[in-house]
Amino acid sequence: MAPIAAGFVILILTAALMGVVVGSIGGAVAWQFRANLVLGAVVAWCAFLLLLVVDSYDVHWLRAKLTWGTPPLTLTFLIASASARELEAHTALRRTWISLAAFGIALSLGLLYLRLFRLDLWTPLPLALGADVALILLLTRARMLACYSALKKRSS
């Protein structure tokens, strides 16, 4: 592999790794402060963008970094949010421990996701998109069921 191509691979892998870390932290923090899921995702993405700009001072490669860094960011953000919600529903842990556990779960699954780069550079992108859609449906389904049970309780 030519030196420039190897440098590009390292560039996109570090962007994906930063996306995993920022997404895990963002999902856990957004859940800890009970922020809106969309607002938390936007804040996490802005923090990721700021981190990328501060990291290199050169915005020439920013599009490539965002292309390969945003899917792991979104995936780990949603994993942290979903796992925190499930841990809250099924355990008696305090909020701080739930946030730390959600961060650990999201970081672990994000690092497993990064192993997909061994197959091909383009393999993780559609897989993250499919997993993101499934997680969004899971999160909205849980909210819709809660709203439905509250309406049903109110009417009876």
Residue pLDDT, tens place only, 28-50: 999 999 988 899 999 999 999 99
- Are the C-beta atoms of 106 and 21 separated by less than 8 Å? no
Report the domain count for the chain. Answer: 1
43-79 pLDDT, tens digit per residue, is: 999 999 999 988 877 778 888 899 999 999 999 999 9
The tokens for 85 are 């919600």
Asked if 3 contacts 40 with a C-beta cutoff of 8 angstroms, the reply is no
Tokens of 71: 């899917």
Q: Structural domain of residue 29, as residue ranges?
A: 3-155
